[in-house]
Amino acid sequence: MSEKSVKIAINGAAGRMGRQLLAAVGERDGTAVSAAIDAPGQACIGLDTSVLSGGEATNVNTVDSLANVIEHFDTIIDFTAPAVTLALLETLRGTNKKVVIGTTGFTAVQLEALSAAAESLPIVFAANYSIGVTVTLALLRDAAKALGDDYDVEISEAHHHHKVDAPSGTALAMGHAVADALGRDLDQCAVYAREGITGARKSKTIGFATVRAGDIIGDHTVLYAGNGERLEITHKATDRMTFARGAVRAAHWVSSQPAGLYDMTHVLGLAKD
Ligand code: NAD
């Protein structure tokens, strides 16, 4: 590990994303894996992280307790589950650690706790760390502003059959981007399910549709349907490394930031605030 490397811990190291994150930290100059954590009972506990990443030995063994490795890292990347993420923030309270959160599926109350933690910790939190989705969110805002209320907006997404939350955090982020651009509150205008005699579509609503199947990594389409034409903006992820590389870029960026809540637009220098 070079002296200037940002020392990075991966929480949820054995997960689908954790394994990719270990590989992505290893391939980027200026970052090094210095700790890895997963849940007690996992087969990887006590073993070198290379058994998870498939890469070269790091001489870093995966542990089952964050508290045991707290001195070993500058920045932690967490792709786990909401309760695990909030426990991590509690453990890091009062430290000078930096945090990158990729976990999705938080309730409104959990999101408030996450925001409160960012008053004393630098936190990057994004529902999707791909560069393509970050650009897509900007395109969606521009399209919504130009098309206005005459176009019905529907958001559809598809993910693998292991995914536990719906709609995806990315679909919700897309909904918020469109709603904000149109001056609407997503909580008031979202329609998450339709069944039976639903009646005609209410104007100014934003509909969501969810597919869970096979090994789909993440597809999202936003449809703007007007009279006589339709516009669709689609993003398809074909490799989890796209999220992992974005999250590692965020970890490198946040290592020199003060406390606050950031997203990928800040990391990429696209933020307007
Ligand atoms: P996964 O179930 O494969 O991995 C989660 C890992 O967390 C598992 O290895 C599990 O054992 C571990 N874990 C559970 N309890 C733990 C604890 N107490 N301490 C440490 N580790 C613990 O899930 P996944 O597909 O890798 O996704 C994880 C999260 O990341 C989900 O919320 C998913 O929606 C989200 N995700 C976000 C992005 C993004 O770009 N933001 C991309 C993909 C997935």
What digits encode the pLDDT tens for the residues 10-58? 999 999 999 999 999 999 999 999 999 999 999 999 999 999 999 889 9
Q: Is residue 203, in this structure, part of any structural domain at all? A: yes
Residues 183 and 117 in one domain: no
Q: Are 77 and 10 in contact (CB under 8 A)?
A: yes
Residues 101 and 148 in one domain: no
The sign of the CA dihedral 29, 258, 9, 74 is positive
Q: Is residue 106, in this structure, part of any structural domain at all? A: yes
Alpha carbon 35 to chain centroid, angstroms? 21
pLDDT surpasses 80 at 245 = yes
Q: Is residue 193, in this structure, part of any structural domain at all? A: yes
Secondary structure (3-state) at 55? coil
Q: Which residues contact 4 (CB under 8 A, 6 or more apart)?
A: 30
Distance CA 46, CA 135 (A): 40
Q: Is residue 272, in this structure, part of any structural domain at all? A: no
Secondary structure (3-state) at 190? strand
Residues 165 and 120 in one domain: no
Confidence of residue 184 (pLDDT cuts 50, 70, 90): very high
Residues 177 and 108 in one domain: no
Count of structural domains within the chain: 2
Residues 248 and 233 in one domain: no
Confidence of residue 1 (pLDDT cuts 50, 70, 90): low
Residues 51 and 17 in one domain: yes
What's residue 266's pLDDT?
A: 96
Q: Is residue 1, in this structure, part of any structural domain at all? A: no
Mean per-residue pLDDT, 193-219:
98
Tokens of 11: 């929480």
What's residue 165's pLDDT?
A: 97
Residues 137 and 95 in one domain: no
Q: Is residue 199, in this structure, part of any structural domain at all? A: yes
Confidence of residue 270 (pLDDT cuts 50, 70, 90): confident
Q: Is residue 230, in this structure, part of any structural domain at all? A: yes
Q: Quick one: which atom of ligand 1 is closest to the CA of 128?
A: 40
Read off the amino acid at residue 119.
E
Percent of the chain surpassing pLDDT 90: 96
Residues 225 and 246 in one domain: no
Residues 193 and 245 in one domain: no
Mean per-residue pLDDT, 88-115:
97
What's residue 131's pLDDT?
A: 94
Q: For 48-99, how does the pLDDT look when each residue is reduced to its tens digit (9 = 90+)?
A: 999 999 988 999 999 999 999 999 999 999 999 999 999 999 999 999 999 9
What's residue 15's pLDDT?
A: 98
What's residue 3's pLDDT?
A: 54
102: Cβ below 6 Å to ligand 1?
yes
Instruction: Return the residue whose CA atom lies nearest to atom 35 of ligand 1.
Output: 103
Tokens of 83: 């309760």
Residues 206 and 226 in one domain: yes
Helices and strands, number each (H, E), in the chain:
9, 12
CA of 74 to the centre of ligand 1 (A): 20
Q: What is the pTM of this model?
A: 0.93
Structural domain span for residue 164: 131-237
Q: Does residue 270 or residue 113 have the better pLDDT?
A: 113
CATH number of the domain encompassing residue 215 = 3.30.360.10
H helix runs in the chain, sequence order: 16-27, 50-53, 82-92, 108-117, 131-147, 169-181, 186-189, 241-254, 264-267
Secondary structure (3-state) at 108? helix
Mean per-residue pLDDT, 87-114:
97
Residues 222 and 244 in one domain: no
Distance CA 8, CA 22 (A): 9
Tokens of 179: 């709603």
5: Cβ below 6 Å to ligand 1?
no
Under DSSP, the state recorded for 201 is P
CATH number of the domain encompassing residue 31 = 3.40.50.720
Mean per-residue pLDDT, 179-195:
98
Q: Which residues contact 227 (CB under 8 A, 6 or more apart)?
A: 150
Q: Are 126 and 102 in contact (CB under 8 A)?
A: yes
* Mean pLDDT, the chain, integer: 96
CA of 38 to the centre of ligand 1 (A): 10
242: Cβ below 6 Å to ligand 1?
no
Residues 121 and 251 in one domain: yes
pLDDT surpasses 90 at 119 = yes
